Amino acid sequence: MKSSLKIGSIMGIPVKLHITFLLILPVFALVFSINEYPLGFAGTTPVILNYALSLLTTILLFACILLHELGHSYIAKSYGVEIKDITLLLFGGVSSMEEIPREPSQELRMAFAGPLVSFIIGFILLGANYILASTASGYGGTSIWLMFYILGSINIVLGLFNLLPAFPMDGGRLLRAWYAKRMSYVKATHYAAGFGKMFAFLMGLLGLFFNPWLILIAFFVYIGASEEDKSTTISVLLEKYNVSDIMSEDVRTVSPDITVEELSKFMFENKHLGYPVMQGNSLKGIVTFTDIRNIIPTDRFATLVSDVMTRDIISVSPEDTASEAFKVMTVNNVGRLLVVSDGELVGILSRSDLMRTMTLLNE
């Protein structure tokens, strides 16, 4: 994803900042600087200290969110789950992991680890603030220890918010793990998602009367619940099939030496939007409609497929399950995968192949 910027890595996990995070950073700092004690630093003198504390609090807040995510990741890693990266975005963080453990007790611990980290940080900071506040002679509304109070409180709220029993919050996963001890994983997800939707509905209703922000959160919870339900059903159903069962074997390939103009004609005639690029018998890359759509008409005759193709080939093996292929597609955000066996291209699997199989399975 080009919309994120990698800032480093912790425990071998790349940490990224999403563009929305960079936009929200000054907004949070502004909120802290205009709110009065004990919600912000307004009134602190000199004014520069107000701004510095507001900015520092914002940065530390996101460091706390990162620690929350690392809590999940740490437990996940101990169960052998691969974490691709952690991205900090507008409202919190997201760890993208290859798969969530299906073992209810593992999912339970993993989901709880995040809020637990937030509570621990919260109580430590509030405790430190309490001690410092009683030893120092009051805040005067300007003390740096106010930051401990603000960050501590936010961490407690963050932990509680994440325990709301609805996807995509951690509480939704806890609820699923609770159900999954009593029934199949798909059914458990369905029940947990149903509960989350009901919860979202009630929250939206409350929002109508009290606070319009609740409607927004309710909407986000409702979408999260539906998505989780759908993607779990898809991946469990697709586990029964291998890539070789549903891939297209009749693969049209293109040469890296043809022009983009020739390629777009070829796409139009063959009606597929992505093709492996082959030079003789060797696979060089993949080229899709997305790679060429922004090339202006006058450049189309001079640009070659080799200039625009993606060299980084994302492939699966014909023996992989369709469910694994679906995950690879989702994690990498691509619409098609090349099927490679012993270094040789044997087929292509597109999102529409998977969707077709899903439709047939649901009949």
Catalytic residues: 69
Return the number of other C-beta atoms located less than 10 Å from residue 249's C-beta: 10
In sequence order, which residues have a C-beta less than 8 Å from that of residue 322 and are 6 or more positions away? 238, 239, 240, 241, 242, 243, 245, 246, 354, 357
d(CA 65, CA 40): 19
Q: Between residues 114 and 196, which has the closer beta carbon with respect to Zn ion?
A: 114
- Segment lying near Zn ion (by CB under 5 A), choices 47-55, 163-171, 228-236, 237-245: 163-171
Give me the least distance between CB of 151 and Zn ion, in Å please.
17
Q: Is 18 annotated as a binding residue?
A: no
Q: Between residues 107 and 170, which has the closer beta carbon with respect to Zn ion?
A: 170
Give me the residue whose beta carbon is nearest to Zn ion. 114
In sequence order, which residues have a C-beta less than 8 Å from that of residue 169 and are 6 or more positions away? 161, 162, 163, 221, 224
Give me the least distance between CB of 156 and Zn ion, in Å please.
14
Answer yes or no: are the C-beta atoms of 200 and 176 closer than 8 Å.
no
Q: Counting contacts by CB under 5 A, is residue 170 touching Zn ion? A: yes
Give me the least distance between CB of 166 and Zn ion, in Å please.
13
Q: Is 353 annotated as a binding residue?
A: no
Q: Between residues 96 and 310, which has the closer beta carbon with respect to Zn ion?
A: 96
Instruction: Record the tokens describing residue 232, joined without a space.
Output: 């779990």
CA dihedral 196, 189, 89, 291 (to 10 degrees): -130
Q: Between residues 97 and 263, which has the closer beta carbon with respect to Zn ion?
A: 97
162-165: long-range pairs with CB below 8 Å, 24+: 162/68, 162/114, 162/115, 162/118, 163/115, 164/199, 164/221, 165/192, 165/195, 165/196, 165/199
Give me the least distance between CB of 170 and Zn ion, in Å please.
4
Positive or negative: CA dihedral 209, 210, 215, 218:
negative
Determine the length of the chain: 363
Give me the least distance between CB of 224 and Zn ion, in Å please.
12
Q: Between residues 170 and 324, which has the closer beta carbon with respect to Zn ion?
A: 170
Among 114, 165, 276, 285, binds Zn ion (CB under 5 A): 114
- Segment lying near Zn ion (by CB under 5 A), choices 2-10, 157-165, 195-203, 220-228: 157-165
Q: In the range 312-331, which residues lie near Zn ion by CB under 5 A?
A: none
d(CA 137, CA 299): 71
Q: Counting contacts by CB under 5 A, is residue 228 touching Zn ion? A: no
Q: Counting contacts by CB under 5 A, is residue 107 touching Zn ion? A: no
Answer yes or no: are the C-beta atoms of 172 and 165 closer than 8 Å.
yes
Q: Strand, coil or helix: what is 1?
A: coil
- Segment lying near Zn ion (by CB under 5 A), choices 107-115, 183-191, 270-278, 323-331: 107-115
Return residues touching Zn ion (CB under 5 A).
114, 162, 170
Binding residues for Zn(2+): 68, 72, 170
Binding residues: 68, 72, 170
